[in-house]
Chain A
Amino acid sequence: MNMRFAFLLPMALLLAGCPSTPSGPEQPDAPIETRVPTVNAGSVDGRDLPNELRDPKNLLSQRSVYFDYNSFEVKREYQELVSAHARFLVANRQLRILVQGHTDERGSREYNLALGQKRADAVRRVLTVLGVQEEQIEAVSLGEEKPKNEGHDDLAWAENRRGDILYRGEY
């Protein structure tokens, strides 16, 4: 999605909606679009990344590995995804990734940071077994601090127990 256009369009509407004379009659319910897209500071759109990583039809565009409760093993259903990234990283030794491990919100923040690290380390281990070099990977934990789903139920917690793969340029 082109951020610049998304931003300009509402601004144009906003300007068009401004009355030229302040003393003019008030327009009730004028359909003025004042919303602008919220961009999370620090997020990067990674436009310089190889196309494979951004093409939604490519498995490499999928970056999240989900874990069971109290589990730190990469499930069978994510083996294909992790293998695809491993092959890509082996073929492109100059690429670097950050693996961020996450937990749900229950329990101590620091202990959760350690649990998230176990998830990030699990993904890293699979990648290195498949030939990715250690210096291509940094495995870190964000613990419970950056939930994907802000809810407080089993569904939200399941979405938050994960490992995310970010390519340099995205972090």
Chain B
Amino acid sequence: MAGFFLNRFRNLGALACCVGFLAFPARAELVIEITGAGASRLPIAVADFAGETESARLVASVVRGDLERTGMFNMLAAPGVAMDESSTPNYADWKYRGADAVVAGSVAPSADGRQEARFRLYDINRGLPLVGSAYLASKPLLRLAGHRISDAIYEKLLGEPGVFSTRIAFVVKNASKSYELHIADADGQNEQTALRSKEPIISPAWSPDGAKLAYVSFENKKPVVYVHSLATGKRAVVANFKGSNSAPAWAPDGSRLAVVLSRDGGSQIFTISADGSNARRVSTANSINTEPFFSPDGRFLYFTSDRGGSPQIYRAGASGGDARRVTFEGNYNVSPRVSPDGKKLAFITRREGAFRLAVLDLENGQTQILTDSYKDESPSFAPNGRMILIATETRGRGVLSAVSIDGRVKQRLSISAADVREPAWGPFQR
């Protein structure tokens, strides 16, 4: 844990400097819109944290915001009295207020001059502490400590890891027609610019270790696949063959990428080493084959092909072989993304002229359409598989939306005066 924070500090510290000197006319604004979250929400209170007022207030508000946005909790008002992690809560009193769980904590300077954020989660019905921990962070990165606390609470209460300390990548098209690849925390805060270009950037894809992004940049008047190390800003060309190079997807072990090349004519899927060597053709059908995505075990590739006359999703072995058709409803099914557990497939389907996010249960074959929007694009699963991040459009402007896999919770991230598109949800931070 300490290693993680030290690393993040070094990387983010350097980037934070740059951000400080650049004027950002566009500011991310997260608008939360939770629809249909039922009575099953778990009642929880996050008490005010003890310690240095400003820091304590920040961490407690990050935790409250994180938990609330999931739509899985019923956030109860805190009584306005700070409660540190080691003061035993008045269980009877909290029970009377209707809380099933209570979070208490504190933020105080640590011996090395940073801040130490501590918390403890209490089970009110059983009258005992469930989990507690301490996180060190420099003051500018205190939000991250809050996200770590939220992750621990979420996992303890819901039995699956939280994604509050993960990051997202997306592309911003400014009013000035320039394109920027942004990285932000999963709550849209701490936004940083990794790349700025006069030409389009599409299809960002996180490396499995979260250190790099592969993407397609048109800066050379044609699509070329790059791999970009986020900590250093170093970029390497992975695929720049004659013709178009696009649609990067990482193999789960990070050693290879699937890409789409037109060097043989048409659009065909290849795999290529992460350093750009050793390209091997995977798809052979004389049709469009694109948007490859690895199954979590690395054995299969899901992809989009028009071999049957309309774009549909297929699955084949990761090194080629026979393809099996996966989608059958409708005549336009594209952009397959497999859930981290391999059991679900998110994709975009066209229904009555509108492009909508759909999820196919790969075990029972049921398809559910999760949105009623008209221009959904580029789905990506949160690393815990609970939410799907998409690009969509409201009032003619590109925004990001996170949709729970049951379609009941929707969050929206928009940036004023800019088009936001091409989101990719990053992996768990190790």
Contacts and interface: CB of A to CB of B under 8 A. Distances in A.
Contacts of B244: 113, 117, 140-141
B188 interface: no
A107 B355 contact: yes
Given A117-B244, A145-B218, A111 B422 contact: no
Contact of B266 (A106, A117, A140): A117
A117 B422 CA distance: 20
A50 B49 CA distance: 73
Interface in B45-73: none
Interface in B370-414: 377-378, 396
Interface in B243-276: 243-244, 246-247, 260, 262, 265-267
A55 interface: no
B339 interface: no
B290 A107 contact: no
A138 B218 CA distance: 15
Nearest to B421: A109
B202 interface: yes
Contact of B243 (A139, A143, A166): A139
Contact of B335 (A41, A108, A142, A166): A108
Find the residue from A113, A121, A139, A142 having the highest chain B CB count within 10 A: A113
Contacts, number: 99
A140 B203 contact: no
Given A114-B260, A114-B267, A100 B222 contact: yes
B218 A110 contact: no
B311 interface: yes
Interface residues of A, number: 28
Interface in A75-132: 98, 100, 106-111, 113-115, 117-118, 121
B contact residues, range: 35 or more
A114 B334 CA distance: 12
B221 interface: yes
B334 A41 contact: no
Contacts of A100: 221-222
Contacts of B223: 113, 140-143
Interface string B306-340: 00000100000000000000000000101100000
Contact of A109 (B199, B221, B350, B422): B422
B262 A117 contact: yes
Given A98-B221, A121-B266, 10 more contacts: A42-B219, A100-B222, A109-B203, A111-B304, A117-B243, A117-B244, A118-B288, A121-B262, A146-B200, A166-B221
Interface of A: 40-42, 98, 100, 106-111, 113-115, 117-118, 121, 138-143, 145-146, 152, 166, 171
19 contacts: A42-B199, A100-B221, A107-B311, A107-B355, A108-B335, A110-B334, A111-B335, A113-B202, A113-B267, A114-B267, A114-B288, A117-B267, A118-B288, A138-B242, A140-B222, A141-B244, A143-B202, A145-B218, A171-B221
